[in-house]
Structure 1
Amino acid sequence: MRFQIEDKVLDTVTGIVTSADSEHSIRAKTLQVLNYLIEHKTDIVSKQAVIDAVWDDVVVQDQVLTQSIKEIRDLLGAKVIKTYSRKGYQWVAPLLPETIQTVAAQVTEPQSTIQARPVIDKSKVWIGASLVVFLLLIMVFVFLFSRSEPPLKVAFLPVQNDVQDSVHTWVPLRGQEQLSIGLSQSSQLDIIDTDHVLYAIERLTTEQRQAYQAGALYPLQEKLDADLIVATRLTGFPEDFQLHYQLQTPFGVEQGIEFASSVDEVLEQLVSKIATRFDEYQPSRSNKNISQFSNEAFARGVAKYLEQDFDAAKPLLQTALSTEPNLLAAKRYLAASFANTGQVTEAIALLKENISRASTQPEQGRELLRAYLMIGYLQINWPQLMNRESELLSAEQYIEKAKQLAEQQQDQLFIAYAHEELGKIKRLQGEFAESANYLKAALKYHQQFQGDYGQTAALIELAKVSNAQQNQVLAEQYLQQAFDIATQSDAPANQVWVLLAKADIARSRLLNSRAEQFAKEAKHIATQSDNPMLVARVEAWFNDAPVYTVN
């Protein structure tokens, strides 16, 4: 049979695809795949069902089918077949009825045949045929000329997972698939199938692979013939994730960050941003507005921050704020950069500015929470006043305010954080029973949403309280429980924190050789994880410097 598919004619018997200026033949197996999908166009067919139907006599890998799907899309258009995550494929392109052929047959029938039938008004037949032809011509014209530019071809790379635990090992491929499916459903952009992207990565030459592994995206841009390559990196903690993204077009690179409490939510936010940003995209070297420039400076500043290069992060974050003063997350990272380089007074001043701005912007509720919490955290861990008792009371006021706001917003994560910090304050004030109550409440909140990171921190603090009460057995039990959780979730950062807490407690009991042994174990794990922040914290312990940084 012959079908009209957009501006091409497909012969499903001969496997010939004809357009205005070319003619192509479809491989035999690929033609079988095509016919199978068309025959079952009302269904989503699994990969295995297609393989069983087409390659029933041999054992083949999924990649063989993926290649056939790619060939069909290359010949007939990327949107003729839709991919459904973990379900399979479905033919979705309309197959134009052979209306013209039917009308033509009526018009060119022998006169004798027509006379043998009931009398038909020939003028009406001709008018009907003319109308059908006219309508079809309009449809073709609209299809060919309604878009001045073809839709952008977009490829998502696997998500780089920098959340160091075993819980989020699914992120690279499932995250890539979720982004691709989400954008295909929310825009008219031409999304390159994830199987095709992975296959292209596998087929990079040695030279191309080296460039790609060094961070260059142009090898894949060439291989996929993509207009937009999206590279992403997930960082942060459960309930507090950051998705760093890099958008590579032929005209430059754009960077940014999305924040959300879940992985699904942060991926959805990026899909929304790309759909809004590029669905009506017209390539131009001057397409960046002030907000995009600010977001890129912010993203680069955060990247430097995560590399522990706080001095390099500061000017980038300040640049972002110079064009976008309400980018409160950038000011928060700038405050953290100041704090981590010993400029705590400047950091607190910036955070107070965030409190002032966020108080008048309801959508900045979490930034308001963070600002109160961070000021209290800085006053707890970096004493600045001669009167320590007064400073701890000030910290308690800020943390209490954060707790109240978190309860109003029903933000379970920050309720837990506030309880944890209040527990620290009470420990430093010598009120151990009250401290333990706060910390146990924090632990309970973290357990409710499976916050392994928070559970570890609360257990470490409980161990410190027990140590201050001279209950060494209970302290060791808390630390062992914390280390077991860190090990089960494969979180090296938490393992390091537990080992440094063990080292601190051993040193407080004048067990210096044992303390050094724990610290060396922490250093080994930090080095193996290749995390500069962890390495810096362990080195600080050996140098008798504060191991805390603003995370």
Structure 2
Amino acid sequence: MPENAEPVYFDDATGTLLFRDVHIELRPKTYAVAKFLAERAQEVCSKEQIMDAIWENSFVEEQAVFQSINEIRRKFEPSVVIQTYPRRGYRWVLPVVLHASSQSKNPEQLIKHRKPHGLLMSFLVVLLIGLVAVGWYTFIDNGRLKRWSQSDPRFNITDHQALMVLPTDTTALTNNDHGLGFGALQSVLERLPTESNRTIFQASDVLDIMDRKQTEQPTDYFAVSGATQIVSSKLNGVPGEYSLLFTVWQRGGSQQHGVLHGSTIEQVVNDYAEALMLQLFGELPRPHRGTVSALTTTLTHRAMTLLSQGEIQSAIPFLESAIVEHPDEPMQRFLLARSHLQLGNIESALPHIESGLATLNKSPQQTLRGRLLYLKGVALMKTNLPAASHFLSAAQSVAEEQQDWLYHAYTKAMQGQILIKQQRFSEAEPLFAESLRYQQLLNCPLGIIQGHLDYIDFYLAQGHTTKAKAELELAEKIVRERDLEVVRKIIEGYKIKLIKT
């Protein structure tokens, strides 16, 4: 137990607690859970032990234990009252004085903390418990007692909501941020509001449940957690360009999707918490930046999932459908244009670039302007180098103005590629050096690899094969260290190019 910690006084007469001169009221079952743990303060009590002791002869799910533990913790915040031992159970950690009404604590001190009409409230609570106890087995069917059930149409029982937010899946990230999934979970939990009719599983509870059962689908946790809502999420992208996809699953089978974009992980995690508050609680901590339809979000969510798996061609129909549903949303235009460019479909990409830029002309949201200008410059490189150079220069200015350092680096590299085509090597080299330096500052493995590949093009254009091979070795080293399967085909292509020279 913590040294010099003040004791918790249990008053069985009223079913209340006293801690640091603060009167704490708990629901009857929650009070019973607290007392059960407090009486065994030196023990770690499992959920099964708690359920057997408090809900004996009743059929309840583990949700009831989670709900009571979370209620106790909320009442004692910021003090730690119960410690979780993953896969084992819970232990009470504060000193305890049982039956405070008849022991050392002055009864007058207890009374002065009670709310008005405390005796009346206690009587009503006891009466209500009695009525529930009598009514629980209230009707007979073929000689057998039947329980009230939530599925029985004769009774209108309000479901208690229990929300379980899973750690964010960060396996798609290419840098060393894989451990951020649990940090994102904790950050989101800290921002979600507390409601009396909704239990929010704390991180320790979530990890305990995940340790007990390995699942393939988030919905599998419904069977072992008692949750009524489960939120899963996945973080994709590179420093400067992140996407977070999330789904809110309902026990009944329905689901809602969300897609978020941001230049930093902190930004998308903050927006993640905001989006959950909007979907689950109908409130926002700050003005929202605009919404799109549920269909558009679902289509974009599916497209982003496919893009993260490298299924670019399969993602395109979903993006096209999202644009039909919401034609004024520039992000879908940007994603679709970039997808077409990655497949070499320049003619298909250009109309969406132009439409995206036109949409931004009517919107205060200018985040994507530099990136769309960059795509337009890249699209024109095969047919019109002067025009490509013009748009890349414009993209460079916007990127610097908005401090979009990822596309600042991309734009420098593409300007260098234009100078290679024009055989202006002395002007190209500083651009490649600056691009690589920014990618290293961003700590983006894919960007750093691309920087080395740009140097291969630079050296091969001048006939410096040895230097080109050295750059390839540096790129291959990063691929091996980070196990980046996504770029192995590109590396193999450069190997073939070097063999042919």
TM-score normalised by structure 2 residue count: 0.70
1:77 aligns with 2:86: no
Deviation at 1:403, TM superposition (A): 0.2
Contact 2:30/2:71 (CA < 8 Å) preserved in 1? no
Where does residue 322 of structure 1 map in the other structure? Answer: 324
Matches within 5 A, 1:282-431: 291-310=293-312, 312-340=314-342, 343-365=345-367, 367-380=368-381, 383=382, 388=383, 391-431=384-424
Deviation at 1:432, TM superposition (A): 1.7
The structure 2 residue matched to 1:2, chosen from 10, 25, 44, is 10
SS at match of 1:160: coil
Matches within 5 A, 1:4-83: 9=16, 24=32, 31-33=39-41, 54=42, 71=65, 73-74=67-68, 77=71, 79-80=74-75
What are the Cα deviations for residues 137-187 of structure 1, in whole angstroms up to 9, with x where unaligned? Answer: 68999xx9xxx9787422111222233545122133333333323335899
What are the Cα deviations for residues 227-254 of structure 1, in whole angstroms up to 9, with x where unaligned? Answer: 3211111111112111111110235111
1:254 aligns with 2:256: yes
Where does residue 176 of structure 1 map in the other structure? Answer: 185
Higher deviation after alignment, 426-435 or 187-196: 187-196
- C-alpha distance in 2 between matches for 1:414 and 1:364: 14
Shift of the 2–375 alpha-carbon distance from structure 1 to 2, 3 Å rule, reads same
Amino acid at match of 2:202: D
Deviation at 1:481, TM superposition (A): 2.6
Contact 1:66/1:195 (CA < 8 Å) preserved in 2? no
- C-alpha distance in 2 between matches for 1:427 and 1:8: 80
Where does residue 523 of structure 1 map in the other structure? Answer: none
How much is the aligned-residue C-alpha RMSD, in angstroms?
4.7
Contact 1:100/1:133 (CA < 8 Å) preserved in 2? no
Deviation at 1:308, TM superposition (A): 4.7
SS at match of 2:327: coil
Deviation at 1:319, TM superposition (A): 3.0
Higher deviation after alignment, 64-73 or 194-203: 64-73
Deviation at 1:484, TM superposition (A): 3.0
SS at match of 1:364: coil
Deviation at 1:193, TM superposition (A): 1.6
Contact 2:33/2:50 (CA < 8 Å) preserved in 1? no
Deviation at 1:309, TM superposition (A): 4.5
Which structure dedicates a bigger proportion of its chain to helix?
1
- C-alpha distance in 2 between matches for 1:467 and 1:266: 40
Shift of the 377–9 alpha-carbon distance from structure 1 to 2, 3 Å rule, reads same
- C-alpha distance in 1 between matches for 2:395 and 2:415: 11
Deviation at 1:427, TM superposition (A): 1.3
Where does residue 270 of structure 1 map in the other structure? Answer: 272
Contact 1:298/1:330 (CA < 8 Å) preserved in 2? yes
- C-alpha distance in 2 between matches for 1:425 and 1:139: 81
- C-alpha distance in 2 between matches for 1:428 and 1:247: 50
Contact 1:30/1:72 (CA < 8 Å) preserved in 2? no
The structure 2 residue matched to 1:479, chosen from 457, 462, 472, is 472
Shift of the 4–179 alpha-carbon distance from structure 1 to 2, 3 Å rule, reads farther
Where does residue 164 of structure 2 map in the other structure? Answer: 155
Shift of the 224–349 alpha-carbon distance from structure 1 to 2, 3 Å rule, reads same
Higher deviation after alignment, 72-81 or 293-302: 72-81
What are the Cα deviations for residues 188-226 of structure 1, in whole angstroms up to 9, with x where unaligned? Answer: 96320222222223333xxxx5xx41x3x3331232222
Deviation at 1:422, TM superposition (A): 0.5
- C-alpha distance in 2 between matches for 1:306 and 1:103: 62
Amino acid at match of 1:292: A
Deviation at 1:303, TM superposition (A): 2.2
Shift of the 255–470 alpha-carbon distance from structure 1 to 2, 3 Å rule, reads same
Higher deviation after alignment, 448-457 or 415-424: 448-457
Contact 1:301/1:317 (CA < 8 Å) preserved in 2? yes
Contact 2:439/2:448 (CA < 8 Å) preserved in 1? yes
Contact 1:188/1:279 (CA < 8 Å) preserved in 2? no
1:222 aligns with 2:231: no
SS at match of 1:230: strand
- C-alpha distance in 2 between matches for 1:22 and 1:227: 20
The structure 1 residue matched to 2:203, chosen from 186, 190, 194, is 194
- C-alpha distance in 2 between matches for 1:29 and 1:321: 56
- C-alpha distance in 1 between matches for 2:167 and 2:347: 41
Structure 2: which 5+ residue stretches go unaligned? 1-8, 20-24, 52-61, 85-92, 95-99, 129-156, 284-290
What are the Cα deviations for residues 73-121 of structure 1, in whole angstroms up to 9, with x where unaligned? Answer: 5367363466999x97899xxxxx979964999xxxxxxxxxxxxxxxx
SS at match of 1:162: coil
Shift of the 377–465 alpha-carbon distance from structure 1 to 2, 3 Å rule, reads same
- C-alpha distance in 2 between matches for 1:470 and 1:350: 38
SS at match of 1:248: strand
Larger Rg: 1
